[in-house]
Amino acid sequence: MSKASSQKRLTPSRIQSMKGSAPIVCLTAYTTPMARALDAHCDLLLVGDSVGMVLYGLPSTISVTLDMMIAHGQAVMRGVTRACVIVDLPFGSYQESKEQAFRSAVRIMQETGCDGVKLEGGEEMVETIAFLTTRGVPVCGHIGLMPQQVHTAGSYRSLGHCESETAKIRRDARAVGGSGAFAVVIEGMVEPLAREVTAAVHVPTIGIGASPACDGQILVADDMLGMFTDFTPKFVKRYAGLAQAIDDAASAYADDVRNHRFPGKEHTFEIRTPPG
């Protein structure tokens, strides 16, 4: 048996045990090739509903469906041997009731083979998280800025600038942290509040736009790789400039085709003389 096939992937319980020790490295992934490229370097890969904006060009995550998440979850699972894989529950697939959430989560886990699900929400989701986890569904929470609630929040912005926001996030953190979730994503909040929340909960916090105070960090892989040139959020660090590299490559290819330089002789099939 090969090393890759015998290697055990990280589990949600292993991620939870990393609280306060080694920083947890997380990125999003939506396809098999990307999962293969990121797997060796990440502890957790999130099949995020951000796929709607990143791959489908949607204006928000609201239009993402359960079928879309399952299809991309299946693709990512084909590319991993090491990382824990968590799939987002999309908007409308869990908010109605804890029973609806369970049915959606079970379908995702059965049809993809992933390790658990992520859902957005604070105090209002505690009963749902507990219902799922006591029935064998590992759950990663998500508080702070919640993209699925952008229509009620009004905009994407950092939180924790006033006492009402801070108090709500404190309550949400305590509630989700004690609900049975194995970790919680905290998004878009000021550093002092992220530090306070991380210290207050016994499960790992995974930050996105929430400072180095968190137990781990996550970014949308396409942002990290510089696949977009129009806008870079403040909390994103670009480690490559793939959008420009792709543009340069496509330009060179088009120039070669238009000037009859491609395909060349080395790319062309010739008639072979039969042997004998």
**Residue 271 domain-assigned?**
no
**Residue 93 domain-assigned?**
yes
Q: Does 88 count as an annotated binding residue?
A: yes
Work out the number of other CB atoms within 10 angstroms of the CB of residue 102.
17
**Residue 249 domain-assigned?**
no
- Write down the residue that tokens 């894989």 correspond to: 85
Domain of 73, in residue numbers: 9-244
Mean pLDDT of the chain: 93
Q: Confirm whether pTM is higher than 0.85.
A: yes
**Residue 262 domain-assigned?**
no
Q: Does 256 count as an annotated binding residue?
A: no
Tokens standing for 144? 């702070």
Q: How many domains does the chain have?
A: 1
CATH, residue 198: 3.20.20.60
Work out the number of other CB atoms within 10 angstroms of the CB of residue 272.
6
Give residue 4's pLDDT band: very low, low, confident or very high (50, 70, 90): very low
CA distances from 66 to 45, 101, 124 (A): 18, 11, 21
**Is 99 a catalytic site residue?**
no
Candidates 169, 163, 112, 106; CA nearest to 142 is 169
pLDDT tens, position by position, 22-58: 999 999 999 999 999 999 999 999 999 999 999 999 9
Q: Is 117 left (phi over 0), alpha (psi -120 to 50) or beta?
A: beta
Q: Does 120 count as an annotated binding residue?
A: yes
**Residue 273 domain-assigned?**
no
**Residue 190 domain-assigned?**
yes
**Residue 263 domain-assigned?**
no
**Residue 194 domain-assigned?**
yes
**Catalytic-labelled residue, pool 124, 187, 196, 270:** 187
